[in-house]
Amino acid sequence: MRIKRLHFLLLFGIVFLLWNFITYYTIVTKPKGADKERELTERLMSLEREMGKQLAENKKLLESLKLLKDIKDKKVYRSGEYLGTKDGVLPILMIACDRVTVNRALDQLLKYRPSAAKFPIIVSQDCGHAPTAEVIQKYVVSHNITHLKQPDLREIVLGTPQKKFLGYYKIARHYKWALNQIFVTFNYSAVIIVEDDLDISPDFFEYFSATYPILQQDPLLWCVSAWNDNGKDGMVSEEADLLYRTDFFPGLGWMIEKKIWMELSTKWPETFWDDWMRHPEQRKGRECIRPEICRTSTFGKKGVSKGLYFDKHLKFIKLNSEFVPFTKMDLSYLSKAKYDEMFIKKVYSSPLLTGQQVKSGEQPQDKVVRVEYNGKDSFKKLAKLLGIMDDFKAGVPRAAYRGVVSFMLNGRRVFLAPPPGWTGYDTTWS
């Protein structure tokens, strides 16, 4: 049925083009009186301009229909060349709304993208904001990106306590629709999700290319993220190739597989989707990969959080500036068994100092040190002292792995860690 519908649409497009041509020819050949020659000439010029616009729109329609057919056939074509099945394709899904500065994010994706075939760009726009749509459409024409528009723009009716969170409800609704487009309509196997206010590093695509096979093979991983919540300048090392496992879902430039979405989509929340993903019922003990130095940073001060979080934290995040050839590196150390053995040994063999000793720079000869916390209040007090994020989501500190948060302070590695023998997170910590 869908193929028949596609054929019908193609036929419709051809008929529409012929109709435009006949209309144009009829007007051009119509006899003209001398007194109306100038007026008719002006009308013809105006019609010619409109016809040009219409022809461009029809061309885009035909290209979109062809792309849909290629997607349906699980094939990708560019310039008539068959480039293989979609299994090797990692689409970029950009979530957009009403930021006309979406061009900045798109320009960077296009600048660093190594292959249009492997990394097709799909922009899903909510809000129905015409100026933003116009910006995106320019890239549809010039770079053959796909522009989707979230169709359900109805207002969400909320009670008085929830009204202030309306924006978060709309975001959750948009994410669900957009991810269904990626995994159900387009039938992709995985996706890299970004938002319209993110800068990316030169090795953004290289990072996800290298970690995708690990995500596929490890059942204890459920995402790869470009983000380090404690990635402020001065709190990360210069080891741009350093990657971690983390129990915390970071977001802000992240990759998941279709099987995870099919699991989550059946119970997707009405609001605060990212915090919901951090609940044990969704995470199920699974982990993500994250970098030492962020591969994304945000320039979007405007948003549902009103810019408060941006001014206090986000604008200080360091974005990686060098290209790391991850696909040529041995990343087997990220496998669960190897990583846990290495990580636990490194953390608990490091010298134990107090938070104040670390803050004051005592024992500078020790380049890797540990600070121990004992409970929720102890963690929050030490985190504030040492300058890292002090909040929890379902009991998990930001960027933590096995309760340990790793960061740099005064030029040395610090592990803020629970006592040896950690047994799990306390979900009552918040």
| Stated length of the chain | 430
Q: Identify the weakest region by mean pLDDT among 241-255, 293-307, 376-390.
A: 293-307
Q: Which residue has the higher pLDDT, 80 or 370?
A: 370
Question: What is the pTM (predicted TM-score) of this model?
Answer: 0.81
User: Can you give the pLDDT at residue 88?
Assistant: 84
Query: What is the set of active-site residues?
Result: 274
pLDDT in tens, 124-174: 999 999 999 999 999 999 999 999 999 999 999 999 889 999 999 999 999
Distances (CA, A) of 279 to 215, 222, 264, 283: 20, 14, 12, 6
User: Token pair of 380, please?
Assistant: 């929050």
User: Can you give the pLDDT at residue 307?
Assistant: 60
- The torsion defined by the Cα of 113, 114, 115 and 116, in degrees rounded to 10, comes to 20
Hey, what amino acid is at 185? T
Is 63 a residue whose pLDDT tops 90? no
User: Can you give the pLDDT at residue 45?
Assistant: 67
Work out the pLDDT band at 67, boundaries 50, 70, 90: very low
User: Can you give the pLDDT at residue 300?
Assistant: 80
Is 366 a residue whose pLDDT tops 80? yes
User: Can you give the pLDDT at residue 71?
Assistant: 44
Work out the pLDDT band at 430, boundaries 50, 70, 90: confident
Distances (CA, A) of 141 to 53, 136, 147, 279: 12, 9, 10, 41
Over the chain, what is the mean pLDDT? 87
What is 236-281 written as a DSSP string?
S-S-TT-EEEESS---SSEEEEHHHHHHHGGG--SS-HHHHHTSHH
Tokens 């009829």 correspond to what residue? 26
Is 72 a residue whose pLDDT tops 60? no
Is 337 a residue whose pLDDT tops 60? yes
Q: Identify the weakest region by mean pLDDT among 29-43, 50-64, 96-110, 407-421.
A: 50-64
Is 81 a residue whose pLDDT tops 50? no
User: Can you give the pLDDT at residue 64?
Assistant: 46
What is the percent of the chain with per-residue pLDDT over 90, rounded to a whole number?
76
User: Can you give the pLDDT at residue 33?
Assistant: 57
Is 309 a residue whose pLDDT tops 90? no
User: Can you give the pLDDT at residue 287?
Assistant: 98
- What is the rounded distance in angstroms from the CA atom of residue 177 to the CA atom of residue 147? 14
User: Token pair of 176, please?
Assistant: 């669900």
User: Can you give the pLDDT at residue 52?
Assistant: 62
pLDDT in tens, 191-225: 999 999 999 999 999 999 999 999 999 999 999 99
User: Can you give the pLDDT at residue 310?
Assistant: 81
Q: State the maximum Cα–Cα separation within the chain, in Å, rounded to a whole number.
A: 98
